[in-house]
Amino acid sequence: MLVNFFRAIMIYIFVLVVMRLMGKREIGQLQPFELAISIMIADLASIPMSDVGIPILNGLIPILGLLVMHLIISILNMKSLYFREIVCGKPSILIYRGKIDEKILKKERFTINELEERLRANNIFNIGDVEYAILETSGQISVVPKPEKRNLEIRDFNIQPEYEGISYDLVIDGVVMKENLKKLGKNEKWLENQMKKFNLKPKEALVATIDGEGNFFCQAKERKNKNV
């Protein structure tokens, strides 16, 4: 029983490392070759995990082989457009200039109901509001609404927005994010002075952040009741 327990932990850690090496995209939308590799990794990992009689290397070595194969295919994808089209395919335009392309729908084995369902996932509830609908190689549908159905943007009012930047975490659960302070050109003394405005020390903060406009946000940790 304990052997199975520790083998499962070892295999889990190994698969986790392999998936991280494959890149962040595998967590999101998979290309066909990525999906195939992910399924095979799951299958290979389950064999030595469930059967103690099978050496653990019998599962780990093939997984390493799949990782190498993935890296090779990824490199070839970046180097060759032709190879990329063979392995990943290319996007298909399901709706072109407001008109549904029936031939492409049949080729991609898409029904009208499926198309409408995907459009609703993009907050489009009337198929007549769509100028372009593109089936991406990941299986997702990108939608371009007709001009009169698009949401208003700042540029429609001839307004030039100011650069907002991003928000940085300065303290998380009492721990100072020194690397973020360094990026901002600040130091811990500056942080302490900012925290004094909230009558807090950094170690007492649940979170402290600063956005691109210099707005400082801070929230204290909940204090435990000593009488409990």
Residues 143, 98 share a domain: yes
- Residue 28 is part of which domain span? 2-86
pLDDT at 176 over 70: yes
- Within 8 A by CB and 6+ apart from 177, the residues are 168, 169, 170, 171
In a domain, 160, yes or no: no
At 26 the pLDDT is 43
In a domain, 162, yes or no: no
In a domain, 22, yes or no: yes
* Structure-token match 């090779």, residue found: 72
Q: What's the rounded mean pLDDT across residues 57-70?
A: 82
Q: What's the rounded mean pLDDT across residues 80-105?
A: 86
In a domain, 59, yes or no: yes
Residues 102, 76 share a domain: no
- Number of independent structural domains in the chain: 3
Determine the residue type at 55. Answer: P
Which is higher by pLDDT, 162 or 186?
Answer: 186
Q: Which residue in 60, 70, 79 sits closest to 21, CA to CA?
A: 70
Could you give the strand order of the β-sheet that contains 130-135, starting from the edge strand earlier in sequence? 99-100, 92-96, 130-135, 141-145
**Among candidate residues 86, 103, 136, the one where a domain is terminated:** 86
pLDDT at 112 over 80: yes
Residues 19, 66 share a domain: yes
**Among candidate residues 65, 86, 107, the one where a domain is terminated:** 86
pLDDT at 25 over 60: no
Cα 222 from chain centroid (whole Å): 32
pLDDT band at 219 (very low <50, low <70, confident <90, very high): very high
- Within 8 A by CB and 6+ apart from 201, the residues are 192, 195
Q: What's the rounded mean pLDDT across residues 61-79?
A: 84
In a domain, 199, yes or no: yes
In a domain, 187, yes or no: yes
Q: What's the rounded mean pLDDT across residues 140-153?
A: 84
At 214 the pLDDT is 86
CATH number for the domain harbouring residue 103 = 3.30.240.20
Indicate the pTM of the whole model: 0.61
pLDDT-wise least confident of 76-80, 148-152, 214-218: 148-152
Secondary structure of residue 76 in the 3-state scheme: helix
At 28 the pLDDT is 45
